[in-house]
Amino acid sequence: MPNIKVVNMAGSQVGEISLSDVVFGAEINGAVLHMAVRAFLANQRQGTQSTLTRSEVSGGGKKPWKQKGTGRARQGSTRSPQWRHGGIALGPKPRTYRVKLNKKVKRLAIQSALSSKVAANELIVVDQIVATEYKTKVMADMLKAIGASKKVLVVLPAVNQFEDEQKYADYVKVVRSLLNIDGVKVALVNTINVYDILNCDSLVVAQAAAENIQEVYA
């Protein structure tokens, strides 16, 4: 069971947290990680590209010239693919690029991704990430103090705006302050994905979010 030190927003250690071996100490499965990243990137594609075939372009109803006697090649329509403004042969049409993964593979991929961050010492647990006002400097100073650099993924616990309006308002201040910093992305426990975890250089997780992750993915 890996033990990770817990720091505050000033970068000082305030304790330790014991993380689940199932979630944060699992064997890293490279094949499953590849499948998850491939599925994530494929599912971002819209697949709305479309070209017009010869039956869809306007015009071309009349035969350009008679079949024989002109010395030119026979043509039936000015909208054939070889003509300018003609239809496109074998062009792209709207399609879905969606790749589906079953639940066990998704869970295993998240466990492998989180475990890879622990193994690489790129996981930082913060006791609580709070903001009383919209201040980007406060969040920037926090990231600098805890040693997070370059691309950072900050994981926060889920907040229900209908249960505690004040808590939700403070959460919005944190998120908006963080998103003003270049290279920083914010996610909730229920919105994390393998690609974002692997793509970041530092994974910053609030202590409450780390406990929630263990409950969900253990």
Q: Are residues 127 and 23 in the same domain?
A: yes
Q: How far apart are CA 123 and CA 24, in angstroms?
A: 10
In this structure, the answer to whether residues 40 and 59 fall within a common structural domain is no
Q: Does one domain contain both 78 and 176?
A: no
pTM: 0.82
Res. 1 pLDDT band, cuts 50 70 90: low
Rama region for 11: left / alpha / beta (φ>0; ψ in -120 to 50; rest): left
Let me know whether 105 and 141 are in one domain.
yes
Q: Residue 214's Cα: distance from chain center in Å? A: 21
Pair 71, 139 in one domain: no
> Structural domain tally of the chain?
2
Domain termination residue (choose one: 96, 120, 136): 96
Q: Last residue of a domain, which of 34, 62, 96? A: 96
Residue that finishes a domain, picked among 96, 112, 135: 96
Please check whether residues 54 and 40 belong to one and the same domain: no
Residues 59 and 167 grouped into a single domain: no
Q: Same domain, yes or no, for 71 and 90?
A: yes
Strand, helix or coil for residue 36: helix
Instruction: Say yes or no: 111 and 22 in one domain.
Output: yes
Structural domain for 51, as ranges: 47-96
- Do 200 and 160 belong together in one domain? yes
Confidence of residue 204 (pLDDT cuts 50, 70, 90): very high
Token pair of 131, please? 């903001």
Question: What is the tens place of the pLDDT at every residue in 22-65?
Answer: 999 889 999 999 999 999 999 999 999 999 999 999 988 889 99
Tokens 């499948």 appear where?
A: 35
CATH of the domain at 193: 3.40.1370.10
Q: 152 and 162: one domain?
A: yes
